[in-house]
Chain A
Amino acid sequence: SQQGEEDPQALSIQEGENATMNCSYKTSINNLQWYRQNSGRGLVHLILIRSNEREKHSGRLRVTLDTSKKSSSLLITASRAADTASYFCATDGVNNDYKLSFGAGTTVTVRA
């Protein structure tokens, strides 16, 4: 079973717009990570946020974490065609810090 659930399942935006996707999870975590996957290939690590952090930035990416609501959001600003991909959140449990549990992902399409 999946630990996380991403919302929305799919997102279509115009180049230059911002894209926001959300992730909810069920159990306590050490960290939450976001990954990108292009066309069913390998996963590229985007950003990690620890359970004691509330917000983190990396370039055009902004991640927030609300452990009280067991949810996270990923914002991509000024989107580009190259951002077209599937985005996954992944959590590692407090007692299983080696095992990542992924959601089903959000598919983002950036239109030129």
Chain B
Amino acid sequence: DAGVTQSPTHLIKTRGQHVTLRCSPISGHKSVSWYQQVLGQGPQFIFQYYEKEERGRGNFPDRFSARQFPNYSSELNVNALLLGDSALYLCASSRYSGTGIWEQFFGPGTRLTVL
């Protein structure tokens, strides 16, 4: 089975621009989560989508938005980019294995650099 795929691998943008990052989950997984990882820190939760509905949102401004499509792939959009948005953006494909466990499988990430 193919793992979680993300595109693009790397991206360079300038302040004020917007960006769209894409994620395709593992086949059969209906949930996708997005995380931001700034250099030297652990990942921070941004969003989770399940069955095309937003299920949770982390402490990020409204400049960050996401959606999930009928095929369960997902896009993360960031508007009005700031230098501080430079980070590795990770997508995780999830399945619920029962008794309170969400198994999350991470993609390779998209490295966003804002100049």
Contact = CB atoms under 8 A, between A and B. Distances in A.
A47 interface: no
Interface residues of A, number: 26
A88 to B, nearest CB: 5
Nearest to A89: B42
B108 A41 contact: yes
B111 A2 contact: no
Given A42-B90, A43-B90, A98 B106 contact: no
Nearest to B6: A42
B100 interface: yes
Contact of B109 (A30, A42, A102): A42
A67 B1 CA distance: 36
Interface string A21-41: 000000000110001000011
A92 B96 CA distance: 13
Interface of B: 4, 31, 33, 35, 39-45, 48, 50, 55-56, 58, 88, 90, 92, 94, 100-109, 111
Interface of A: 2, 4, 30-31, 35, 40-45, 48, 50, 88, 90, 92, 96-105
